Copies of this chain bind each other. A is one copy, B any other.
Amino acid sequence: MTRILYGLCGRDAARPFSPHVWKTMMAMGHKGLDYRLAAVPFTAIPKIEQGETRTVPYLVDGDTRVVDSFAIAAYLDQAYPDRPTLFGGPQAQAQARLIESWSQMTVHPAIVRMAILKIHDLLDQEDQAYFRASREKAFGRSLEEVAADGEAERAAFAGRLDPLRRTLGYQPFIGGESPLFADYIVFGALQWLRIATGSVALAADDPVLAWFERCLDLHDGLGHSVAAA
């Protein structure tokens, strides 16, 4: 049986950059599960497995198919209970939704403004047209106008991570002494920023940077497998 994880790529299939797919790649590493990564461009997602999904990550594990990074992590803990836990039980899984929501609503919008043109540039021609049209419709502004906020976002970015920085004063990972899916949720966002722009916009002595680097080193350095832009 071959597990297949469908992900997202630009022109270079060897450089997956989606934050959500990175969450799942880290989750698979955490569980020690083998898989084949099938990274496709945005416009090829509707063709995956004859149209089974509209989004990635999409995991095919034998007869089981799961979409969405959080749902995949929950599935993995349920299907592989003897391997290291990604959540640590139902209470922690519920709480991870607030951490996901914080990352999604506070960290992601800033990264979009910092990285949107760089993400565009990673894509092939067909995807560039799709990306520009869909994002400009969503924002009601051109990509260049969205990116004009990027410098201000970059200057304010460390402040958005204040809650994580305070947490790291108590413990090395969001999960405590060792990482959990909650760590991968926020790692995925910063890895997206790193791969697209070459930097995570944090000072050299920032404890959040030290945490990010600890995460890059996990699972045989999985996070390092795609170089920064």
Give A residues with C-beta under 8 Å from B.
Answer: 85, 87-99, 101-102, 104-106, 162-164, 166-167, 170-171, 173-177, 180, 182
Is the pair A180, B91 in contact by a Cβ cutoff of 8 Å? yes
Using A94-B175, A95-B96, A99-B99 as known contacts, list a sample of 5 further A-B pairs with CB atoms less than 8 Å apart, ordered by residue number in A: A88-B90, A91-B175, A101-B167, A104-B166, A106-B163
Given A105-B162, A163-B106, A166-B104; A95-B97 close (CB under 8 Å): no
* Closest CB in chain B relative to A138 CB, distance in Å: 17
> Which residue, of A89, A162, A163, A177, has the highest number of chain B Cβ atoms within 10 A?
A163
Closest to A171 in B: B94
A202 CA to B90 CA, complexed, in Å = 29
Among B95, B102, B180, point to the contact of A175 (Cβ < 8 A).
B95
Number of copies: 2
**Separation of A150 and B84 alpha carbons in the complex (Å):** 47
Is the CB–CB distance between B92 and A91 below 8 Å? yes
Ranked nearest first, the 6 interchain pairs of A and B with the lowest CB-CB distance are A88-B91, A94-B176, A92-B92, A101-B166, A101-B163, A102-B163
A177 nearest in chain B by CB position: B94
Return the contact of A85 from the options B91, B98, B164 (Cβ within 8 A): B91
B92, B95, B101, B180: the one within 8 Å of A162 (CB): B101
Residue of B nearest to A103 (CB): B163
Give min CB distance, A71 to chain B, whole Å: 11
A180 to B95, CA, bound (A): 9
- Please list 20 pairs of residues, one from A and one from B, whose beta carbons are closer than 8 Å in the complex, sorted by A's number: A88-B89, A88-B90, A88-B91, A88-B92, A89-B91, A91-B175, A92-B92, A94-B174, A94-B175, A95-B95, A95-B99, A95-B175, A97-B167, A97-B170, A98-B102, A98-B163, A101-B164, A104-B163, A105-B163, A106-B163
